[in-house]
């Protein structure tokens, strides 16, 4: 039996992609948890593939997806939530503040002063650097 993978065996790549997606989600969750705990300003919970951040200040809701929340974005926006939809492949974030207001970031920081005043997470800390991926 050969240790080489067959051409067309995408399960390995799908598994690798899922591990990277989970790693990014865990990194973001850790930053959010640390911020919220240190300041006592809300709660952070994971529901499936989404991170939900509830602000105690204004009862705001921030929902974070990594590579895959698009089918639920409208539902959360209709509830008044803010959305961070991160795309690992493009190393960008789509920030939804409302149904009509969307900003695409390729640099800068994830932040939402309305839900988490003072929180900033640079995108360079969210996504692995290209050199790290190639090693």
Per-residue pLDDT of the chain (135 residues; tens, 9 = 90+): 444 444 555 565 566 677 787 888 899 999 999 999 999 888 999 988 899 999 876 668 999 998 877 778 888 999 889 999 998 888 899 999 888 899 999 999 999 888 888 999 999 999 876 544 444
Pull the structure tokens for residue 42. 């809300």
Does residue 6 belong to any structural domain of this protein?
no
How many whole angstroms separate alpha carbon 95 and alpha carbon 5?
Answer: 38
Q: C-alpha 53: how far from its chain's center?
A: 11
Does residue 3 belong to any structural domain of this protein?
no
Does residue 38 belong to any structural domain of this protein?
yes
Does residue 69 belong to any structural domain of this protein?
yes
Q: What is each CA distance from 41 to 27, 110, 113, 117, 126, in whole angstroms?
A: 19, 17, 12, 9, 22
Q: What does the pLDDT read at residue 135?
A: 47
Q: Which residue has the tokens 């290209």?
A: 130
Q: Quote the domain boundaries for residue 23.
A: 11-134
Does residue 1 belong to any structural domain of this protein?
no
Q: What does the pLDDT read at residue 5?
A: 47
Does residue 44 belong to any structural domain of this protein?
yes
How many whole angstroms separate alpha carbon 133 and alpha carbon 84?
Answer: 23
pTM (2 d.p.)? 0.79
Does residue 103 belong to any structural domain of this protein?
yes
Q: What is the CATH number of the domain that holds 18?
A: 3.90.1570.10
Overall domain count for the chain: 1
Q: What does the pLDDT read at residue 44?
A: 94
């Amino acid at each position: 039996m050969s240790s080489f993978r067959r051409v067309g065996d995408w399960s390995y790549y799908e598994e690798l992609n899922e591990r990277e997606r989970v790693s990014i989600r865990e990194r973001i969750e850790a930053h959010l948890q640390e911020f919220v705990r240190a300041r006592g300003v809300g709660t952070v919970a994971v529901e499936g593939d989404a991170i939900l951040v509830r602000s105690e200040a204004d009862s705001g809701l921030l929902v974070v997806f990594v590579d895959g929340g698009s089918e639920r974005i409208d539902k959360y926006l209709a509830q008044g939530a803010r959305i961070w939809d991160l795309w690992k492949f493009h190393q960008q974030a789509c920030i939804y503040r409302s149904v009509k207001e969307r900003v695409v970031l390729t640099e800068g920081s994830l932040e939402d002063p309305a839900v988490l005043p003072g929180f900033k997470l640079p995108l360079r800390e969210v996504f692995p650097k290209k050199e790290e991926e190639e090693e």
